[in-house]
Amino acid sequence: MRLVGKRAVVTGAGTGIGAGIAVELAREGADVLVNYAHSHDGALEVARQIEANGRRAVVFKADVSRADEVEAMVQAARQAFGRIDILVNNTGITRFLDVFELTEGDWDQILDTNLKGMFLCSQAVARHMRQTGGGVIVNLSSVHSRTTMPDLVPYAASKGGIEGLTRALALGLAPHNIRVNAVAPGLIEVDRVRRDPLYDREMRAKQIPLGRVGQPEDIARVVVFFASEDSRYVTGQVLFADGGMTSKLSMRRTKD
């Protein structure tokens, strides 16, 4: 129970990795605001699991790319919990788009949600944390910031931007006792992945050095580490939680 007495906001927590993070934070003792944009039923189920762990839950719908909705979300958390100690920026859009068919609208929507939204949430919560003595921000990046595919241009660009954002925010917020770090997941078996008709768990597991596909709890436990006092001297870092996938790709042999 490393987070007893802490209050957290988790964006994009109605499904997938975000849902796993919200529940794990509650298991470690935190009260959690569960943010969602579309997954209302999922957010309610996450809140039920949080309350089953004896913690308080608030469900709040907000589009993180809109400053007014972000501010309303922060105010709701403050009203419910009194303060915010932890922000987990998890919301993200993944779309596979051919580079020649990618539209300006596609680019804007993905960058606005994945990168601009992360900044807006961080700024709004950091303003509050500065007044209350500090806190922790954990951003969700991806292995696609380092190695990616040709049909993920805006997604990869957003994830690379998240890592730069994390380092810059860490420097700017350190004087206010606010730590900022990022987790970069590899392949995580969420519903969206399972629904892919081309997904083959055994085949994908063979591509990962640890021999298995990741689960949401694998990422949630890393987030807990960053959110807790266990990492009190760590800021501005990106931790790749990918079963060794990026290390394997970076060590490909080349012909002499």
Residue 183 CA neighbour count, 13 Å, CB half: 28
Tokens of 14: 């109605």
pLDDT digits (tens, 9 = 90+) for 64-95: 999 999 999 999 999 999 999 999 999 999 99
Both structure tokens of 63: 């589009």
Average pLDDT over residues 224-236: 98
Ranges 7-11, 77-81, 143-147, 247-251: which has the least confidence: 247-251
| DSSP designation for 189 | -
Q: Does 36 participate in catalysis according to the annotation?
A: no
Q: Is the pLDDT of residue 199 over 90?
A: no
pLDDT of residue 193: 86
Which residues sit opposite 238 in a β-bridge? 182
Position 69, amino acid: E
Q: What is the mean pLDDT of the chain?
A: 95
Structure-token pair, residue 10? 């988790």
Mean pLDDT, residues 25-29 taken together:
98
Q: What's the CA gap between 3 and 20, in Å, rounded?
A: 16
Fold assignment, 7-250: Rossmann fold (3.40.50)
Percent of the chain past pLDDT 70, that is, above it, reads 97
Distance CA 217, CA 202 (A): 19
Quick check: 6 and 29 in contact, CB under 8 A?
yes
Q: Is the pTM of this model over 0.85?
A: yes
Quote the CA–CA distance of 104 and 215 in Å, as a whole number: 33
The domains of the chain are located at 7-250
Considering only 64-68, 199-203, 246-250, which range has the smallest mean pLDDT? 246-250
Residue 84: name the closest of 44, 55, 124 by CA: 124
Q: Which residue has the higher pLDDT, 246 or 105?
A: 105
